[in-house]
Amino acid sequence: MTYVGKPIKRLYDDKFVTGKSTYGDDIQINSLYAGFVRSPYAHARIKSIDVSDALKVPGIVAVFTAKDLQVKEGIGIWTTYEDPKQWKFLPRRPLAEKEVKYVGDPVAIVIGTDKYNVRDAIDKVNVDYEKLPAVIKMEEALEDKVLVHEELKTNVAFDQTFNGGNVDEAFKNADRKIEVEVTNNRLIPNPMEPRGIISRYEGGFLTIWYSTQVPHTARAEFSRVLGIPASRIRVIMPDVGGAFGSKVNILPEDVAVVLSSIKLGRPVRWTATRSEEMISSEARHNTFKGEVAFKTDGTILGIRGELIVDMGAYLTYTSPIQPVIIPLMIPGPYKIQNISVRSRAVYTNTPPITMYRGASRPEATFIIERIMSNVADELGIDDVTIRERNMITNTPYVNPLGLKYDSGDYLGLLREGVKKLEYEKLKAWAKAMREKGRKVGVGMAFYLEMSGFGPWEFGEVRVTETGDVIVTTGGTPHGQGGETGIAQVVADELQIDIDRIKVIWGDTEVVASGMGTYGSRTAAAAASAAKVAATKVLEKMKRFAAKMLKVDVEEVKYSSGEFEANGRKVSWNEVAEFAYKSDEPGVFEQLILPGDVTYPYGVHIAVVEVDDYGIAKVSEYKAYDDIGVVINPALAEGQVHGGATQAVGQAILEEAIINEEGQLAVTYADYLIPTAVEAPKFESYFSEKPHASQYPSGAKGVGEAALIVGPAAIVRALEDATGKRFNHTPVRPEELIE
Amino acid sequence: MLVRPGEKVKIKVKVNGIWYEREVEPRKLLVHFLRDDLGLTGTKIGCDTSTCGACTVLMNGKSVKSCTLLAVQADGAEITTIEGGDGKLHAIQEAFKDNFALQCGYCTPGMIMQSYYLLSENPSPSEEEIREGLHGNICRCTGYQNIVKAVQDASRKLRA
């Protein structure tokens, strides 16, 4: 039996369906509880902090402010993918010392024996503030009238122009041009498990249980910030209840908890409330304003404009990615040769931005897909034709900003997809329904995604003395089912039963190194590292088999659990047992597999209906994708369903609205996540002729695809339903109603 | 009864078939009682506003969000949590596995408890009834289609 390509059941579901799952907050360990005193102002000077009343609350152990918690360095940025030299920023300290910069900025950490007492004491910390002028809107922040960080002398954190081809020439040669303004408003990733941390320091060693997607990276950052060698820090990732990119981010609160545990010599834990989660990891919020040059046949000649990306009050570990990657991906799957985009990132007195499923590619896709549909409308041609006319027809292809697209048949997939998903039929049906008075619409959008994100991943495969196999991966699945995919790949490589494989991840003391799960990279990077390690382990097993069979290793043939030479056979289990009794026990291989980006792509279609109150419902969502080799179609489909549901949220429901008083959406009552009632019915297909990536697994990745393209498809459907035009997310009921 | 700040009240609650007698602060939420006092961490907490349903348990046979109740309100009541099974997987639990109805698993205990209640009230719900019945439980990962399929699958098996 082979496993790759089949909808194999997830390996470790039992603990989740029986309540034996152990997320950070479920860990039962004798520890103190932490909570945070937060700023009620968007911008204010801290005149004084009086903790005396708080300390009188029974059970309160300590209240620390900035002066108590000194770090070696502030929290930095993700140097694997981001260049600090391009940025103006102040590394973030665990607590605000002189000024608070947004509503929710932590100013003190309260530690006590009981979570209720900690709540009581938080209310009794008296902070005397002097309110300062705040700047909330990024357009106003650009003017530098109110500075978020006086020391930086500007709110502009990043300013770079991305040029390709000759955009002035393109505009000269164009028949027509239009202006476009495209906005993705601010979102909150909102994994169901709020972030949390437990820190224990003893004998000079630090153990951190951490709701993260990057245990090794977090260890390195904690080491840098605290000045404790990484070898003395162990980061353990328990079960993690979703992350969607937001748990790569390292919070100042996390550092405050760790420092407190060191200072007190006692374990300290903190689990964010939902409201804290909702200001801890926000995402998107950027606007592209520009113009597009095109010919009357729909050929797009050039795009120029300005991109403004909100950073919130501080840079976070992950926010610098977006101002760089959005411009690079704006050309998308289209042969647009001339582009010039000035990209600026600005500070505002709002909660810091992190990253969320797709990070940059949803924005770039929304911008280019809106451009395609805007031009199509301008010329009166349809959405498929405009894309056909501009689609890249040969790969590999280098886009005008230097990205090298690896493989694919974009045009072929567009045509196949439109047919398979019955786009034209649905369009005709919607038109007929509209004639009967229903506000029904159908929209399509195409995407080209960059995924995989090297630079490397770790994999180890170990055969035990019983012949069972332990795979240790640098990937860090937290819901996607990546561990099952990795096991499928290894089971095929070793031709053994998948039930004999155990996959381990997420503990820096068990996994030698690792990058982690983000950027749709696990099926490509992590599964490939495990696959290559498995190949090498099989070679080792063959050498032991050769010894047993007393032949040269070249004579040994292996098939489905049996090694054979000269008509004699030994079983997989016998060889494993033999190996462990030999003078070189321990059959394992581990390696770091280098890798690069890869490019999945696809076409998605949304069907919407808007009622008389302007409430939109996405009734159907259909996807046709080429994600390279599909390791497990059921898991891949699950990623499409989940991503598309988040796309429904982005397109019509979700927005972190902020004003001078702070963020207005800090609970599920005012930040609307799609429920089973709002979620569409799904159809998801994968190309029957996939274009593999360069990774040994051949996979390209699917984790982010539907949230990358979904908002554009849904917004187009809303336009079809209402006849109105929207170049932003979310589209609100008041805009949809007549 | 007058209870001063810091004072505790004695309650007796039957959880998963076992009677527990504990002293609790009157303000303690039922979900914290289950998780912190009894160590039953299968019941999760996903929000502060009784919106997400991760903490759903059964109280005297009806589904409740255990963050909406105080522990003292459960005095004398029978509570069933996700850990309340008999050691074998229930048909709903099997169906969640079989239909890829979970990803990160955090909403899963609440989803399963709510599905259990839904099927006990309506053994053969339509798709729309299932979606309505799970309206108070948020899942951020799966997009719900596979959860709906799991409940349909369990419904068929439980009726067979």
User: Same topology for domains A32-132+190-279 and A133-189+281-403, yes or no?
Assistant: no
pLDDT tens figures, A67-116? 999 999 999 999 999 999 999 999 999 999 999 999 999 999 999 999 99
% chain B with pLDDT above 90: 96
DSSP for A423-438, written as a single string = HHHHHHHHHHHHHTT-
Which numeric CATH code is attached to A453-594?
A: 3.30.365.10
Q: How confident is the model at residue B4 (pLDDT cuts 50, 70, 90)?
A: confident
Query: Which of A15, A18, A192 to substitute to test the interface with B, most B CBs within 10 Å?
Result: A192
| pLDDT of B134 over the 80 cut | yes
| Partner-chain contact B106 A668, CB within 8 Å | no
* Percent of chain A with pLDDT strictly greater than 90: 98
Residue A658, pLDDT score: 95
Contact B145, B100 (CB under 8 A): no
State the pLDDT at residue A585.
85
**For the segment B28-41, what is each residue's pLDDT rounded down to a tens digit?**
999 999 999 999 99
Q: Which residues contact A542 (CB under 8 A, 6 or more apart)?
A: A553, A556, A558, A563
Cβ contact A10–B97 (<8 Å): yes
Task: Please tell me the predicted confidence (pLDDT) of residue B19.
Answer: 98
What is the H or E stretch that residue A37 is in? Answer: strand A32-38
The CATH fold assigned to A133-189+281-403 is Aldehyde Oxidoreductase; domain 4 (3.30.365)
Q: Which of B54, B93, B148 sits opposite A676 (nearest CB)?
A: B148
Q: State pLDDT tens for residues B32-87.
A: 999 999 999 999 999 999 999 999 999 999 999 999 999 999 999 999 999 999 99
The whole-angstrom separation of Cα B91 and Cα A227 is 52
- Smallest Cβ–Cβ distance between B47 and the set A19, A640, A668 belongs to A668
Does A275 lie at the interface with B, CB-CB under 8 angstroms? yes
Contacts of A377 (CB under 8 A, 6+ apart): A725
User: What integer pLDDT is reported at residue A1 of this predicted model?
Assistant: 82
- How do the residues of chain B divide into helix, strand and coil, expressed in percent and rounded to 5? 35, 15, 45
Indicate if the pLDDT at residue A738 is higher than 80.
no
C-alpha span between A367 and A182 (Å, rounded)? 6
DSSP lists the bridge partners of residue A236 as A209, A507
Q: Taking residues A635-655, what's their average pLDDT? A: 98
How many helices and strands, by DSSP H and E, does chain B display? 5, 5
Paired sense of beta strands A658-659 and A662-663, if any: antiparallel
Contact status of B3 with chain A (Cβ, < 8 Å): no
Helices marked H in A522-607 — which ranges?
A: 527-549, 572-581
From residue A111, give the alpha-carbon distance in Å to each of A59, A65, A121, A729: 9, 12, 9, 40
Return the domain boundaries, chain A.
32-132+190-279, 133-189+281-403, 453-594
- Tokens representing A575 are 């060889």
Predicted pLDDT of residue A660: 86
What φ, ψ does residue A110 adopt, rounded to 5°? -105, 130
**Using one digit for the tens of pLDDT, what is the confidence trace for A494-546?**
999 999 999 999 999 999 999 999 999 999 999 999 999 999 999 999 999 99
Q: What does the mean pLDDT of chain B come to?
A: 97
Q: Given a cut of 80, is residue B1 above it in pLDDT?
A: no
- CA separation for the pair B71, B85 (Å, rounded): 22
Is A213's Cβ below 8 Å from some Cβ in B? Answer: no
The per-residue pLDDT for B2 is 81
Q: How far apart are CA A626 and CA A692, in angstroms?
A: 9
Global model pTM greater than 0.95: yes
Cα A155 to chain centroid distance, Å, stands at: 26
**Residue A164 has which token pair?**
């390709």
Q: Which residues contact B160 (CB under 8 A, 6 or more apart)?
A: none
Q: Does domain B91-159 have CATH number 1.10.150.120?
A: yes
In B, which residues are within 8 Å of A115 by CB distance?
Answer: 32, 36
Q: How close does chain A come to B101, measured CA to CA in Å?
A: 9
B116–chain A Cβ distance below 8 A for any pair: no
Task: Check if the beta carbon of residue B97 is closer than 8 Å to that of residue A10.
Answer: yes
Q: Does position A328 have pLDDT exceeding 80, yes or no?
A: yes
- Give the contacts of A475 (CB within 8 A, at least 6 positions apart): A457, A482, A483, A486, A505, A514, A516, A517, A521, A522, A525, A526, A527
Instruction: Report, as an integer, the average pLDDT of A175-200.
Output: 98
Q: Is the pLDDT of residue A256 over 90?
A: yes
**Backbone φ, ψ for residue A590 (5° rounding):** -135, 150
Neighbour-count burial of A71, counting CB atoms closer than 10 A to its CB (0-12 exposed, 13-18 middle, 19+ buried): buried
> What pLDDT was estimated at residue B95?
98
Best of B7, B33, B48 to disrupt the A interface (most A CBs within 10 Å) is B48
> How far apart are the C-alpha atoms of A572 and A341, rounded to whole Å?
58
**How many angstroms separate the CA atoms of A335 and A389, rounded?**
9
pLDDT at residue number A586 = 87
Question: B108 vs A635: CB contact, 8 Å cut-off?
Answer: no
Q: Is A644 on the interface with B (CB under 8 A)?
A: yes
**Is the domain B9-84 a CATH 3.10.20.30 member?**
yes
Answer whether B137 sits within 8 Å of A21, measured CB to CB. no
Say what the pLDDT of residue B3 is.
Answer: 86
Query: Residue B130's closest chain A neighbor by CA?
Result: A676
**Residue B139 confidence (pLDDT) above 90:** yes
Domain with CATH 1.10.150.120 in chain B: 91-159
User: Average pLDDT over chain A, rounded to whole?
Assistant: 97
Determine the straight-line distance between the first and last CA of chain A, rounded to whole angstroms. Answer: 58
Helices (H), A331-409: 361-379, 383-390
DSSP B119-142: HHH-SS--HHHHHHHTTT---SSS
**Residues of chain A numbered 27-66 and touching chain B (CB < 8 Å):** 28, 58
Which residues of B fall within a CB distance of 8 Å from A667? 47-49, 51
How many of the other CB atoms lie within 10 Å of CB of A504?
14
By C-alpha distance, the chain B residue nearest A27 is B41
Q: Which of A10, A15, A18 to mutate to test the interface with B (most CBs of B within 10 A)?
A: A18
- What is the per-residue pLDDT for A233? 98
Q: Under an 8 A CB cutoff, do B138 and A668 touch? A: yes
Determine, for residues B112 and A239 on separate chains, whether the beta-carbon distance falls below 8 Å: no
Short-list A456, A526, A527, CA closest to A493: A527
Q: Do B100 and A682 touch (CB under 8 A)?
A: no
This model of the complex carries an ipTM of 0.98
Best probe of the B interface among A675, A681, A684, by most B CBs < 10 A, is A675
Q: What is the pLDDT of residue B6?
A: 81
- In this predicted model, what pLDDT tens digit does every residue of A665-681 receive, in sequence order? 999 999 999 999 999 99
For Cα atoms A513, A516, A521, give the angle at the middle one, nearest 5 degrees: 125
Could you tell me which CATH class the domain A32-132+190-279 is placed in?
Answer: alpha beta
The segment(s) of chain B belonging to CATH 3.10.20.30 are 9-84
Reference A67, options A263, A220, A269; nearest CA is A263
Minimal-distance CA residue of chain A relative to B32: A115
* Confidence band of A369 (pLDDT split at 50, 70, 90): very high
Using a pLDDT cut of 70, give the percent of chain A over it: 100
Cα separation of A696 and A596, whole Å? 12
